[in-house]
Amino acid sequence: MRLKDKVALITGGSHGIGRAVSLRFAREGAKVAIADNEAEALEEINALLRAEGAEVLGVVTDVQSKSQVDTMIDKVTAQWGKLDIVVNNAGICKPSAFLEIMEEDWDRHLNVNLKGAFLVSQRAARDMVHQGTGGSIIQMSSVNGLAAESDQAHYNASKGGLNLLMMSMALELAEYGIRVNSLCPGFIETRLTKPLIENPQAIGTYVKTIPMRRVGQPEDIADAALFMASDESRYMTGHCLVIDGGQLIKLS
């Protein structure tokens, strides 16, 4: 097992990519703390993992709130005494033309996607430094953080900022043995992309922009997250790993 005896925290861990990461990590031997703002979904995945014999902790958390983030990590360290891996997966995406983006939508995208990752990362990194055993922090970014896409200015900005936050953290935390990297998924089948996927004409057109000619699955990202979390990526930090079926080639 590649994560045996490791303690991992996944935010937004009840749905889509986060759910796949939570399952993958637990099945690789990690003790998994799953944070989400949806209590019912959180309990469902916790019950599933417990039935498989995994050690799991569910914490209802809004990553926009520093006090809730602190409480979340306090619960993790109280349960298991340490924190080795963090995946900042909590995020939102509500497409809108640039001229029509409302201020509240701009603020929410930056607060959840960027500020939330900052709050979790900073608190987790402080604990990792205190532990003195290093760690891995993974930011769930997007190809939209590397190339712009129409009707996504607020989302693009949040993910671009997340990548530069990751690089800044990697610079400052390397001396403590803490590695920080970003995963940049392309178009993945989740509840956020479900409306497009269920439109045969729209998805048929969209898939043509993906050289591999298929929609990505959450498990495609979970496998990459496992690599980033494990010792197999021990000499990698400050990197944006793209998993997109080749889509960024065309976006570039």
pTM listed for this prediction = 0.97
Confidence label for 93 from pLDDT (cuts 50, 70 and 90): very high
**Dihedral sign (CA 176, 177, 178, 184):** positive
Report the distance separating Cα 93 and Cα 113, nearest Å: 9
Confidence label for 251 from pLDDT (cuts 50, 70 and 90): low
Report the distance separating Cα 195 and Cα 198, nearest Å: 5
Catalytic one of 155, 176, 206, 235: 155
Tokens representing 51 are 């039935």
Q: What per-residue confidence (pLDDT) applies to 252? A: 60
Taking alpha carbons only, the member of 78, 21, 79 closest to residue 45 is 21
Domain that holds residue 57: 7-188+218-245
Region 172-183 average pLDDT = 98
In a domain, 225, yes or no: yes
Q: What per-residue confidence (pLDDT) applies to 167? A: 98
In a domain, 228, yes or no: yes
In a domain, 202, yes or no: no
Name the H helices within the chain: 16-27, 39-51, 66-80, 103-109, 116-131, 153-173, 194-197, 200-207, 218-229, 247-251
Cβ–Cβ under 8 Å, residues 11 and 225? no
206 counts as catalytic:
no
In a domain, 198, yes or no: no
DSSP-derived secondary structure for 31-79: EEEEEES-HHHHHHHHHHHHHTT--EEEEE--TT-HHHHHHHHHHHHHH
Tokens representing 88 are 């900042």
Q: CA angle, corner 88, sides to 108 and 226, nearest 5? A: 150
Report the distance separating Cα 209 and Cα 252, nearest Å: 12
In a domain, 250, yes or no: no
Report the distance separating Cα 112 and Cα 89, nearest Å: 10
The CATH number of whichever domain residue 25 belongs to comes to: 3.40.50.720
Q: What per-residue confidence (pLDDT) applies to 96? A: 97
In a domain, 15, yes or no: yes
Q: What per-residue confidence (pLDDT) applies to 250? A: 74
The answer to whether residue 215 scores a pLDDT higher than 70 is: yes
- Give me the chain's average pLDDT, please: 97
The answer to whether residue 124 scores a pLDDT higher than 70 is: yes
The answer to whether residue 208 scores a pLDDT higher than 80 is: yes
In a domain, 212, yes or no: no
Region 97-116 average pLDDT = 98
Could you give the number of structural domains in the chain? 1
In a domain, 1, yes or no: no
Q: What per-residue confidence (pLDDT) applies to 192? A: 84
